[in-house]
Structures are given as structure tokens and as C-alpha cells.
Chains A and B, each alone.
Chain A
Amino acid sequence: MRRKTRPLVAFGVGVLLVGALVVAGLQIESLAILNILTTALVAVVLTQAWNVLGGYGGYLNLGTAAFYGIGAYTVSILDYNLGWSPFFTAVLGGLAAVVVAAIIGIPSLRIRGVYFAILTLILTFLVQRLAFSIPITRGALGIFLTPLDLDPRALEQLFFFIFLGLAVLVTVVVRLIQHSRFGSALVAIREDEDAAAILGVRTTRTKMYAFAVGAFFMGLAGALVAQRVTFIDPDAAFSMTNTVNPVIMAMYGGAGTWQGPLIGAPLVVLLGEVLRVTFGGIGLFGPTVPAEVSRLLFGAILIGVALYARRGIMGLIRPRKGTRRRI
């Protein structure tokens, strides 16, 4: 009985939540609040995307910023040079991220351990360096995108609804994955990769698909954010914050569940806002708070999560795999 009603309850809550957000998007007057809500929705998309391989599969992907930036740069270059609107090319941004994910993932996901995490981290450094250096990205000058001809409120609303839609889409995808054979295979890999392989799970292929699905949504999100902010440069597009936040948000909410990112992402965004307002009020760093303050805090939170939220991490990371043998 309970088992039957629970999905229905979840579905009902989901519909109510989305409905409430739609109403909020139409009714809220404050552009600042709408802006924060949109930021939280972007965070949900990135965290959910990270969640597929990171949460279910237990493989630490430190390349979210790279895929996000690749998506952003793909659409920006197309817009700048050819005048193609990101709304039409966003999918290309996602696909570009998938191509890079394949190049990185095929060799590195074949083996285990922290190798994959390091390679994705280095990928981020490399693409950022490239964006600074090669002519087509215009280096540190960055790229201006064609702004949309809309009044500020309509703009905020537009992107609010775009990311609401994307967040719902990616959450539905993740939920479908969770209840599919593919999802079970990922969890099996996280829990015990040897056993999974023995039971016939094609581990490399499964991890690769999960990595690609995540990279696609990361690239898609980056592409649409580029249109939202209408300017990108290598620092912003490949900001390490975009790599760190999904990890923290997923862990907060519970990695490896489709609900986790829905809880964790808004919570961390809210926390960031509270910190910003508080520190801004104290004036410790002057009237405007440098971005590094929040980075510093998130770094500290990351340490805290790694050290103290061990069960949380154990939920994320498969036990006993690739670990040191104990006697």
C-alpha cells in the first residue's frame, strides 16, 4: 500500500512545487529575488547533472566547470561570429561538452581510483588556459553576446522559466535513471565495482554514459547562462565555483538520490545569500563582498563535509573500492 502511494505523493508534491514556482515567477515583483531563484535553479541543474555519475556511480567528477564553460563558449562563439542565437545552439553547447567528456572519459573511466577526478580537474585548467590563449575565444577580452530586446523584468522571468523547465527536465531524467537498469548498474558500480563487473554490468560503458549525460546538461546550462549574462570570459566561464558547488550541494542534500540536489542546491544558494548580506552588513570587506569570501567559505565547507559528513560521503563514494587494503 505504502509502496504504491509514495510515488503518487512525490508526484503530487512535485506538481505543487512546480506550480508554486510558476506562480512565484509570474507574481514576484523584486527582480533581485527572481534573480536568486534563477541562480538556485541553475544550481539544481548542475547538481543534478553531476549527480548522475557522482552520486549514483560514485565517481568524483571535478570537471563541471569545464563542461559548463565549454557549453558557454560554444554558443558565444557561434553568436559572436555567425549571429546564431544561443536558444537554438544551446543543444550544440551540450553536445560539445559530451564530445570532450568522451575524449576524457574513455581512457580514464576504464580504470578506477582518483585518476578520473584528477583528469577532470586538469581538463578544467587546460580549457581555461586555452580560452585565455587561442584567438577564437578572444582571450581575456571575453565575448559579448547579442542581448535580447526585452525589458529587465521580462528577461528575468524568461530565464526563470527556462531554468525551471530545465531543472524539471533534468530531475525527471535523473529520476527515470534511478529506477532504470542503467541506474541500478551505476549504484552497483558505486557499491562494488568488481561484483558489478562479475554480474555482467558493462562498467566502463555505464560510467561513460552517466558521464556524458551529466556533461550534456552541464554544457546546456552553461550555454543558456551565457545568454542570460550576455558576456563571458575565461575566469567566469571556467570558475572553480561551478565545480565545487555541485559537489557540496549534492552532499548536503544527499548524493545518489534525485531529491538530494533539489534540497541541497537551494539550501547552499540561500546560505550564500545570507553570508553575503551578513558580511556586507558588517562591512568587514567593505561594502561589496569579494567573490573570494564565498569561495573561501565554500572551501571550508568542503573540508568540513569531507571530514565530518562521512556517512554522507560514504553515501556518495563506494565503500572499499580502490581503497588501501587493510590487513
Chain B
Amino acid sequence: MTSLVAAIVNGLLLGMIYAAISAGLSLTLGVMGLINVAHSAIAMFGAYLAWSAMHAWGIDPVLALALITIGFFFVGMAVERLLVRRVYDEPPEASLLSLFGLMIVLESILVLVFTTTERALPVQYTSAIQIGFVRVGVARLVGGAAALVAILVAHGFLRRSRLGRGIRAMASNRDAARILGVDTERLSMLLFGIGTALAGTGGVAMAMIFPFTPGDHLNWLTLAILVVIIGGLGGLPRTILAALSIGLVESLAGAYLPFQYVSIVLYALLIVTLWIRREGLAGEAVRTL
């Protein structure tokens, strides 16, 4: 009973971290109709930045997470400006291709600089704490909490602010928004910045709980796509819900399956979901936020 509750709690925290890594992907897809295949490579870059910060300057991973999230916001705006905007009016494959190129470049840089040796980003403090009768991994708790904060900030911005309203209008009907004078280019840049910031949060949070090599980001990407497809493009709350359920499934399945099979289960789940929910990525689906 206790172990079941622990698995559920840990699964939910894991799901929160998955939500962080998926939220950015969901936003760029939902608003811009863009599948950012470089998303997970950017997240992995964040993970290695946090790792370096810890080893070089002894910066606490939690502080690194905050700094990387903020820094990546600007990085994301630059990426949008340089790689996405100029091909935005081209067929979607053009931006897909340039982001695919970015993914390869980022991964290659990580391999060259950090090699393929597995790294870990230990959260200092203690390894686990007792909450009531449940033992919870501190890394999961910290990562999950950070993820929750980042997503709530993004969600609040989209729901409450003027620019957020503009972004939602753009997601709902881009042409109508342009007709009303909404600067869709600037808002796209802003949104891509938010997505990238969330990638940074998610990447560092993932690194807190899983050891990582540069190539692992492909698993993260698959995971994020899975979350987005299961959750649909109906906005961040649905993304969080989907991520939480996947975290839960994985946490419960992880108790019975060897680790490497868990990711295969996820891939298989993804292909099956794509089969069933084709409109999930078709681009013709109604985009909402």
C-alpha cells in the first residue's frame, strides 16, 4: 500500500517534469503550427549547461535551472528570428528542416564537448525525504516543483496578459489577428522564446532525475511528442494532464518492467496513438489554447 502511494506520488512528480519538457512543444505547435524537432536538443543543452555550471563554478542545479530558463527565453527568440521566421511562409517542411539541422548541430556540439559519457546532475541536499509515510525523491520534488512554477507562469501569462491574449488570438485565427493589427511576427518570437524557456526548465529538471548522454534527447523528444499527441492542442492544462498520466503509467510500469523496455513501451504507445489520433499532428486540427 505504502509503495503504491509512493509510486503514485513519484509518478505525478515525474509527470510534472514531463509536462515541462512537453509544454514548449505543445505551445509552438498549437500557436505556430510548427513542430520544433530541435526542442529536446535545446533541453539537453540546458541539462549540460547546468551540469557544467555545477562542476565549473559549483552553482546549485536549482539556481542553474532558474537562470537557464530565463536565458533560454532570449535564446529561443533568437532562434525564431534566425531559423523560423524567414521560412514561415514557406511550406512547413522548410522550417522543420532548418530545426532538424539545428537539432543535429546541437547534439554534435554536445558530443564533441562532453563526449557520450553518461552524466548526472545530483541535487545536493538529501536523496529522499519522508512525507507522511511516503518516501519521495528530493530531485523529483525539486524538479517537479520547478516545472510546475514555470508552467504556471507561462499559463498565467497566456491567460491574463495583453500579449498572451494576442498570442491566443493568433493561435485561434492568425489571419484575423493580423487584420486587427496584431504583430504576429513579434508574438511568434515571444512564444517561441517561452517554449524554449520551458525546454530549458524541462531539460534541467529531467537531468536532475535521470542520468543523461547527448543522444538521450531523442527519447525526450519522443516523450514530448507523445504527451502533446495524447493531450491534444487544447492548451497547457491538457498538456499537464497528459504528462501526469504518462508519468503515472511509467512509474507504475517501471516497478514491473526493466528500464530499457519502458522507453520502448513509450515509442510503441506513441505510434499506436498516432494511428488512432491522426489529426493530432495533421496541422489541420483546430488549434486552441
Of B33, B86, B103, B219, the contact of A125 (CB 8 Å cutoff): B219
Cβ B104 vs Cβ A324 within 8 A: no
Interface flags for B23-37 (1: CB within 8 Å of A; 0: not) read: 000000000010101
Q: How far is the CB of B266 from chain A (nearest CB, A)?
A: 9
Q: How far is the CB of B257 from chain A (nearest CB, A)?
A: 11
A108 CA to B275 CA, complexed, in Å: 8
Cβ B104 vs Cβ A302 within 8 A: yes
Interface flags for A59-81 (1: CB within 8 Å of B; 0: not) read: 01010000000000000000000
Cβ B111 vs Cβ A107 within 8 A: no
A240 contact set on B, CB distance < 8 A:
104
Cβ A129 vs Cβ B267 within 8 A: yes
Cβ A114 vs Cβ B35 within 8 A: yes
Q: How far is the CB of B226 from chain A (nearest CB, A)?
A: 9
B185 within 8 A of A: no
Q: Which one of A143-151, A211-219, A223-231, A303-311 is at the B interface?
A: A303-311
Cβ B111 vs Cβ A324 within 8 A: no
A122 CA to B273 CA, complexed, in Å: 13
Q: How far is the CB of A288 from chain B (nearest CB, A)?
A: 13
A292-B111, A299-B105, A303-B83 known; A122+B275 contact, CB < 8 A: no
8 A Cβ contacts from A265-318 to B: 285, 290, 292-293, 295-296, 298-307, 310, 313-314, 316-318
A325 contact set on B, CB distance < 8 A:
175
A133-B264, A306-B98, A314-B90 known; A293+B108 contact, CB < 8 A: yes
A295 CA to B155 CA, complexed, in Å: 37
A122 CA to B179 CA, complexed, in Å: 38
8 A Cβ contacts from B109-167 to A: 109, 111-112
Q: How far is the CB of A91 from chain B (nearest CB, A)?
A: 26
B88 contact set on A, CB distance < 8 A:
324
8 A Cβ contacts from B89-104 to A: 89-98, 100-104
B6 contact set on A, CB distance < 8 A:
none
B56 within 8 A of A: no
A164 within 8 A of B: no
Cβ A295 vs Cβ B104 within 8 A: yes
A14 CA to B90 CA, complexed, in Å: 36
Q: How far is the CB of B168 from chain A (nearest CB, A)?
A: 17
B109 contact set on A, CB distance < 8 A:
296
Q: How far is the CB of B238 from chain A (nearest CB, A)?
A: 20
A112 within 8 A of B: yes
B268 within 8 A of A: yes
Q: How far is the CB of B124 from chain A (nearest CB, A)?
A: 32
Of B112, B174, B284, the contact of A296 (CB 8 Å cutoff): B112
Q: How far is the CB of A88 from chain B (nearest CB, A)?
A: 31
Cβ A129 vs Cβ B264 within 8 A: yes
Q: How far is the CB of A252 from chain B (nearest CB, A)?
A: 13
A303-B98, A303-B102 known; A313+B278 contact, CB < 8 A: no
Interface size bucket, A side? 35 or more
Interface size on B, residues (CB 8 A): 53
A327 CA to B180 CA, complexed, in Å: 12
B107 contact set on A, CB distance < 8 A:
295
A293 CA to B113 CA, complexed, in Å: 11
Cβ A327 vs Cβ B178 within 8 A: yes
B282 within 8 A of A: yes
Cβ B281 vs Cβ A114 within 8 A: yes
Of B108, B222, B279, the contact of A299 (CB 8 Å cutoff): B108
Cβ B105 vs Cβ A129 within 8 A: no
Cβ A129 vs Cβ B263 within 8 A: yes
A298 CA to B100 CA, complexed, in Å: 11
Closest to B270 in A: A122
A113 contact set on B, CB distance < 8 A:
92, 281-284
Q: How far is the CB of A264 from chain B (nearest CB, A)?
A: 15
8 A Cβ contacts from B48-99 to A: 83, 86-98
A322-B91, A326-B89 known; A299+B267 contact, CB < 8 A: no
Cβ A118 vs Cβ B225 within 8 A: yes
For B33, B91, B96, B278, the residue with the greatest tally of chain A CB atoms inside 10 Å of its CB is: B91
Interface flags for A186-204 (1: CB within 8 Å of B; 0: not) read: 0000000000000000000
Q: How far is the CB of B280 from chain A (nearest CB, A)?
A: 8
Q: How far is the CB of B166 from chain A (nearest CB, A)?
A: 17
For B88, B101, B282, B284, the residue with the greatest tally of chain A CB atoms inside 10 Å of its CB is: B101
B274 within 8 A of A: yes
A110 contact set on B, CB distance < 8 A:
278
Cβ B37 vs Cβ A121 within 8 A: yes
Of B94, B174, B178, the contact of A313 (CB 8 Å cutoff): B94
A108 CA to B269 CA, complexed, in Å: 16
Cβ B91 vs Cβ A126 within 8 A: no
A126 CA to B272 CA, complexed, in Å: 12
Given contacts A290-B112, A317-B93, A322-B91, 20 further A-B contacts (CB under 8 A): A107-B278, A111-B279, A111-B282, A112-B282, A114-B93, A115-B283, A121-B37, A122-B267, A126-B222, A126-B267, A126-B271, A130-B264, A133-B264, A247-B97, A285-B112, A298-B104, A299-B103, A302-B101, A310-B87, A319-B91
Which 7 residue pairs across A and B have the least CB separation, nearest first? A299-B104, A302-B101, A303-B101, A296-B108, A306-B98, A299-B105, A113-B283
* 19 A-B pairs in the complex with CB atoms less than 8 angstroms apart: A60-B97, A104-B271, A110-B278, A115-B283, A118-B281, A123-B271, A125-B219, A125-B221, A126-B264, A130-B264, A244-B100, A247-B97, A285-B112, A303-B105, A304-B101, A306-B95, A306-B101, A307-B86, A323-B91
